Structure 1
Amino acid sequence: MASLLSPESLQQIKRLDLRARMVIRGFLQGLHSSPFHGFSVQFSEHRRYNRGDDPKLIDWLVYAKTDKYYIKRFEAETNLTGYLAIDLSKSMGFTRSQSMNKFEYATCLAASLTYLMTMQQDPVGLLTLGAKVNAELPARSRRGHLSDVMARLTNIQPTGETDLAACITQIAAMLRHHSLVMLFTDLLDEPEEVYRSLAQLRHGGHDVILFHILDEAEVHFPYDGPVQFEDSESGETITVDATGFREDYLAGLEAFREQYKERCSRLRIDYVPLDTSMPFDKALTEYLLQRQGRG
Structure 2
Amino acid sequence: MASYEDYRKYLDPSVISKLNSFELRARLVVEGFMVGLHKSPYHGFSVEFTEHRPYMQGDNLKDVDWKVYGKTEKYYIKQYEEETNLKSYILLDKSKSMSYASKGNVSKLEYGATLTAALGYLMFKQQDAVGLSIYSETIEKYLPPKASKAYLHEVLKALTSVVPANKTNTSSCLNQIAEKIKRRGLVIIISDLFDDVNSVLTALKHFRYQNNEVIVFQLLDPLERSFAFGKDSIFRDLETDEEITTQPYQIQKAYKEAMDEFTHRIKSECLNSNIEYNLIDTSTPFDKALFGYIQKRRKLH
TM-score (norm 2): 0.81
Q: 2:176 aligns with which of 170, 176, 179?
A: 170
The answer to whether the 8 A contact 1:11-1:99 is kept is no
Secondary structure of the residue aligned to 1:44 is coil
Question: Which residue of 2 is the match for residue 120 of structure 1?
Answer: 126
The answer to whether the 8 A contact 2:231-2:249 is kept is yes
Q: Counterpart amino acid of 1:191?
A: V
Q: State percent identity of aligned pairs.
A: 32
1:44 matched to 2:50? The reply is: no
The answer to whether the 8 A contact 1:81-1:179 is kept is yes
Question: Which residue of 2 is the match for residue 15 of structure 1?
Answer: 21
The answer to whether the 8 A contact 2:40-2:82 is kept is no
* Count of residue correspondences: 262
The answer to whether the 8 A contact 1:88-1:161 is kept is no
Q: 2:240 aligns with which of 231, 234, 250?
A: 234
Q: Give me the whole-angstrom Cα distance separating, in 2, the residues matched to 1:226 and 1:78.
A: 54
Runs of at least 5 residues in structure 2 that lack an aligned partner in the other structure: 43-51, 55-78
The answer to whether the 8 A contact 2:91-2:132 is kept is yes
The answer to whether the 8 A contact 2:119-2:290 is kept is yes
Tell me how far 1:19 sits from its aligned partner.
0.9
Q: Give me the whole-angstrom Cα distance separating, in 1, the residues matched to 2:140 and 2:180.
A: 11
Q: Give me the whole-angstrom Cα distance separating, in 2, the residues matched to 1:226 and 1:55.
A: 70
The answer to whether the 8 A contact 1:83-1:180 is kept is yes
Tell me how far 1:91 sits from its aligned partner.
0.7
Tell me how far 1:229 sits from its aligned partner.
0.5
Q: Give me the whole-angstrom Cα distance separating, in 2, the residues matched to 1:257 and 1:121.
A: 33
Q: Give me the whole-angstrom Cα distance separating, in 1, the residues matched to 2:92 and 2:204.
A: 15
Q: 1:20 to 1:254 in 2, by over 3 A?
A: same
Q: Give me the whole-angstrom Cα distance separating, in 1, the residues matched to 2:265 and 2:94.
A: 24
TM-score (norm 1): 0.83
Q: 1:75 to 1:198 in 2, by over 3 A?
A: same
How big is each residue's C-alpha offset from its partner over 1:100-145, in whole Å with a ceiling of 9 and x where there is no partner?
1000000000000000000011111111112222343221111211
Q: Give me the whole-angstrom Cα distance separating, in 1, the residues matched to 2:141 and 2:102.
A: 31
Q: 1:88 aligns with which of 86, 94, 106?
A: 94
Q: Give me the whole-angstrom Cα distance separating, in 2, the residues matched to 1:203 and 1:289.
A: 22
Question: Which residue of 2 is the match for residue 155 of structure 1?
Answer: 161
Name the Cα RMSD after superposition. Answer: 2.2
Return 239-248 or 199-208, whichever deviates more.
239-248
Q: 1:200 aligns with which of 201, 206, 213?
A: 206
Q: 1:173 to 1:245 in 2, by over 3 A?
A: same
Question: Which residue of 1 is the match for residue 152 of structure 2?
Answer: 146
1:217 matched to 2:223? The reply is: yes
Q: Give me the whole-angstrom Cα distance separating, in 1, the residues matched to 2:140 and 2:17.
A: 27
Q: 2:197 aligns with which of 187, 191, 194?
A: 191
Which is greater in Rg? 2
Tell me how far 1:280 sits from its aligned partner.
0.1
The answer to whether the 8 A contact 1:127-1:133 is kept is yes
